[in-house]
Structure 1
């Protein structure tokens, strides 16, 4: 395999493929950025693919943030994505620790149930879920979305973290018990810090999934004051088709995309290393 990669023709082919893939990924982002700096006249009189005219309309970003309430949607998404990610980490870490380190009768069946749930989309249960949220008075409340997002991402977190806790040496727990540490002390002081790569991988995956989630946000929330970013941008898009405010729409898309790009660029190594390290015992 290493000899094959040293072949200059193979290396050149790999570089060409990666270059084409990078262009295919970056071009839509660049086109969206250029579109956010135009006004309606430039969209309709010129080609949609043309460059924006000077002066560049950076005011589209401030306009969509305040006038079209994207700032409110952004804050709502921060609360929902952050709250669900934190709750999901707590539940997945504690559950995975018990399943991985203290097997009990039925623990394998419980673990397989979590794994099997990965193949069943939660969207299939939207009707009973909606009535359950309604009975709990959680419709149009961020807490309702936080609980739903946590339930949706919990199985993956458990699946990934069980591998981490199984791989940790048993001698660490024995040494902690000899030193007088309780079960909670052993978990929070020793095991939880050692599983940091897995926790980071789970956190990043959950944040990206919860930030971009649209389906449940559009059904469980119908009050514009509690819209998340994907729902708010979708509503703006429907309205702008009649108002022809394409510049602010593209600006809204860029504001929505930038946080996930920054988050992924910063933690991309942790995502790869965390998933790889947790995949084997």
Structure 2
């Protein structure tokens, strides 16, 4: 007699549930009134800045009469006379922009590099070396970002005068570096915090000192942050006027912004408004072109340091 085994019941597989869709970002469902208002404000602000830039570029090649009577028309008279760059040549020769341009390039380049060289080790020590009270020190340095430098100009001038560093490019170099360190340290701490700890642990196991780890491993990895800090400091120092106005009083030491301020009085007295606007264009356009070329790198660097 053959005994048959009872049938094995089949296991029912529950139906697969589709993964839940992520919730849309706030304000992304349709066009809310607040979002429409924000978009309108952004586009109006952008259009206004483009209009100002267009006026600046066209007025650079216009006569004073054209500037006031036809502010948004294309330049005509200087081109008709065969001398379209007359305002630029006038500003360059009469404002001393040749030497001022060289002084500004050297001063801004050296100051920006020095700021990064000082701020990078400080940011690394505050974020990676476990220094006691590093959070408090970081906050203390960040407080310097909230103090308007206009409030310290007078005591700073008195101290620099006692050290005979007024009307000196070296004195301006020291002032630029000192006033730019808080922002740069605060910016670079975000980049050093984003780096993985395993790299330092592996370097320590291999016998590398903290100094060698910093120069050989951490600095190359934080290259994006260093470049971003360098560019932002260069743009800020290039456009700086108040400190140069306070500390420099000889034409041989003038920066571009300081030379433009001195040129303003002479050009206004002679009604050379075309030359004055050309001087403004000479000061503004180099940094504008630099920012346009490197805007993607700057934005990527800032978001990387903030996102991690």
Q: Calculate the TM-score normalised by the size of structure 2.
A: 0.82
Question: Does structure 1 residue 193 correspond to structure 2 residue 217?
Answer: no
C-alpha deviation, 1:203, in angstroms: 1.4
Query: Which residue does the alignment assign to 2:18?
Result: none
Question: Does structure 1 residue 202 correspond to structure 2 residue 229?
Answer: yes
Residue in structure 1 matching 2:55, options 13, 17, 31: 31
Q: Output the CA distance in 2 between the equivalents of 1:115 and 1:216.
A: 21
Question: Does structure 1 residue 73 correspond to structure 2 residue 96?
Answer: no
Query: Which residue does the alignment assign to 1:20?
Result: 44
Q: Which residues in structure 2 correspond to 1:155-170 (within 5 Å)?
A: 155-170=182-197
Query: Which residue does the alignment assign to 1:177?
Result: 204
Q: Output the CA distance in 2 between the equivalents of 1:156 and 1:89.
A: 11
Q: Which moved more, 1:49-58 or 1:223-232?
A: 49-58
Aligned residues: CA RMSD: 2.4
Looking at CA atoms only, which structure, 1 or 2, has the larger radius of gyration?
2
Q: Output the CA distance in 2 between the equivalents of 1:2 and 1:170.
A: 32
Distance 1:182 1:72, change over 3 A: same
Q: Output the CA distance in 1 between the equivalents of 2:134 and 2:298.
A: 27
Q: Structure 1: state its 5+ residue gaps.
A: none
Question: Does structure 1 residue 121 correspond to structure 2 residue 148?
Answer: yes
Q: Output the CA distance in 2 between the equivalents of 1:3 and 1:154.
A: 37
Q: Which residues in structure 2 correspond to 1:233-248 (within 5 Å)?
A: 233-248=260-275
Q: Output the CA distance in 2 between the equivalents of 1:270 and 1:280.
A: 15
Q: Which moved more, 1:55-64 or 1:27-36?
A: 55-64
Question: Does structure 1 residue 52 correspond to structure 2 residue 79?
Answer: no
Q: Output the CA distance in 2 between the equivalents of 1:121 and 1:4.
A: 35
Q: Output the CA distance in 2 between the equivalents of 1:33 and 1:256.
A: 12
Q: How many residues align?
A: 280
Q: Output the CA distance in 2 between the equivalents of 1:266 and 1:43.
A: 30
Distance 1:7 1:249, change over 3 A: same
- Check the 8 A contact 2:63/2:78 in 1, yes or no: no
Structure with a larger share of its residues in helix:
1
Higher relative contact order (CA 8 A, sep 6+): 1
C-alpha deviation, 1:192, in angstroms: 0.6
Distance 1:206 1:58, change over 3 A: same
Q: Output the CA distance in 2 between the equivalents of 1:15 and 1:124.
A: 36
Query: Which residue does the alignment assign to 1:82?
Result: 109
Query: Which residue does the alignment assign to 2:9?
Result: none
Question: Does structure 1 residue 141 correspond to structure 2 residue 168?
Answer: yes
C-alpha deviation, 1:156, in angstroms: 1.1
C-alpha deviation, 1:104, in angstroms: 2.3
Q: Calculate the TM-score normalised by the size of structure 1.
A: 0.90
Q: Structure 2: state its 5+ residue gaps.
A: 1-23
C-alpha deviation, 1:146, in angstroms: 1.4
For residues 169-212 of structure 1, give each alpha carbon's deviation from its aligned partner in whole angstroms, at most 9, with x where no partner exists: 22211222333433222111110111112112211221111111
C-alpha deviation, 1:7, in angstroms: 4.2
